[in-house]
Chain A
Amino acid sequence: DVKVTQSSRYLVKRTGEKVFLECVQDMDHENMFWYRQDPGLGLRLIYFSYDVKMKEKGDIPEGYSVSREKKERFSLILESASTNQTSMYLCASTLGGTSYEQYFGPGTRLTVT
């Protein structure tokens, strides 16, 4: 089974802090994604990566950056956290080729105070 793990289930940070959310997948997947989930808005794509050191902006990249130094790890960075970034953050991965099914991590609920 594919396993996608995220470093924290719950996180509380203060406004202005730099925040790192880590995601690791163990199935050698090529593609990794970061989504933000808010009630009534569904899942919105923040960034994704097709390969090591590659990144592409999604629909809502403002205020975020990402890093993919190793194939299995994809990090989401909030350079200066703000209260409007309080949300559930979901990481996902997909094998690539003709496989488009995404496998999700358990999510990190981030609260910025």
Chain B
Amino acid sequence: AQTVTQSQPEMSVQEAETVTLSCTYDTSENNYYLFWYKQPPSRQMILVIRQEAYKQQNATENRFSVNFQKAAKSFSLKISDSQLGDTAMYFCAYHSSNSGYALNFGKGTSLLVTP
């Protein structure tokens, strides 16, 4: 099974600053998808951003962007202009077209945005 590693269990950033969350994965596949999910405290898990492995351009969604390094198997999430509402657990997830529709999730990074 593919392994997704998030090496930072907890992180903290001040409001308006930029923070980068790390994610690496282990795979022998060439076609796959990567996701970042956000789970605010006591709230529903929602998709933040997705990246198709065949696309070289890094995905961007407003203040959220990724740095996708396919050769290095790295998929980091950058949050610019951090806001208090960004405080959440962030999960990196991997999907391979050979593995049906299940996702492999990392263990998560707890991000705290401070005033």
B59 CB, nearest partner CB in chain A, Å: 13
Given A101-B47, A104-B45, A105-B44, A45:B102 Cβ within 8 A? yes
Q: How many residues of A contact B (CB 8 A)?
A: 26
Number of residue pairs A-B, CB distance < 8 angstroms? 49
Contact with A along B86-113 (1 / 0, CB 8 A): 0000010001000011110111100000
User: What chain B residues lie within 8 Å of A48 (beta carbons)?
Assistant: 100-102
Is the pair B101, A100 in contact by a Cβ cutoff of 8 Å?
Answer: yes
Is the pair B91, A50 in contact by a Cβ cutoff of 8 Å?
Answer: no
User: What chain B residues lie within 8 Å of A43 (beta carbons)?
Assistant: 91, 105
Task: Closest B residue to A40 by CB, please name it.
Answer: B107
Within 8 A of A (CB), among B1-57: 1, 9, 33, 35, 37, 43-47, 50
Is the pair B105, A42 in contact by a Cβ cutoff of 8 Å?
Answer: yes
Q: How many residues of B contact A (CB 8 A)?
A: 21
Task: Closest A residue to B46 by CB, please name it.
Answer: A104
Is the pair A106, B43 in contact by a Cβ cutoff of 8 Å?
Answer: yes
CA distance A45 to B35 in the complex (A): 16
CA distance A33 to B101 in the complex (A): 9
Task: Closest A residue to B6 by CB, please name it.
Answer: A42
Contact with B along A54-66 (1 / 0, CB 8 A): 0010110000000
